[in-house]
Structure 1
């Protein structure tokens, strides 16, 4: 994926993946390895947190449509490589971090 075309969209809107997918199986070891590597980015790239949780559900038996989502994430990371969270130390002031999240678990078709 080093030479892939970068993108600025992490996930398609209203993407629905399922464990009951009938697409072809992919190499589970490679899938798990890439997911593990992406986990390291979560410390400074909170924008991928939801997508990471979503695609991590399929590590037991990954399929082609799950793999396509992983590749989309890698393209997104490449396209947004200059983005991230920086925690600067400014004198002796305390850092205050406020986070908001909007999760749609009702859309989970695997329940």
Structure 2
């Protein structure tokens, strides 16, 4: 086994190790996901979902491309590892992967607009003195 040096990038997560903190950043992955979904130039929003949104499997709206829908949901599921605030909404739209419809896609697009507004958020782990309380 050989030493590859300080960890800087792992599974689309940029790792920055400083004297004061360790930072995890997925902004590059998030930007790629937005670009791939066609939402790179969208206007960001501050809420994840519409209030009291009710989606059903029995929707009668037009069908959407199931492959694209599943791919975007898969990308969002990976993003949940760092962005726990989107976990419920991703799980909710995940229920409709079998037969996605226009109203399901609209909810995913709203979620992507929320993610667009939070692209630059990072997780910071401050270094401590190493003593337990």
TM-score, length-scaled by structure 1: 0.78
* Partner in structure 1 of residue 98 of structure 2: 60
Q: Look up the SS of the partner of 2:90 in the other structure.
A: helix
Aligned CA RMSD, in angstroms, stands at 1.5
* Partner in structure 2 of residue 39 of structure 1: 77
Structure 1: segments with no counterpart, 5+ residues: 95-111
Structure 2: segments with no counterpart, 5+ residues: 1-38
Count of aligned pairs between the two proteins: 94
TM-score, length-scaled by structure 2: 0.65
Q: Which runs of 4+ in 1 moved over 3 A?
A: none
Q: Which has the higher contact order (CA 8 A, sep 6+)?
A: 1
Structure with the higher strand share, 1 or 2: 2
Q: Highest Rg: 1 or 2?
A: 2
Residue 55 of structure 2, aligned match among 1, 17, 24? 17
- Decide whether the 8 Å contact of 1:44 with 1:86 is kept in 2: no
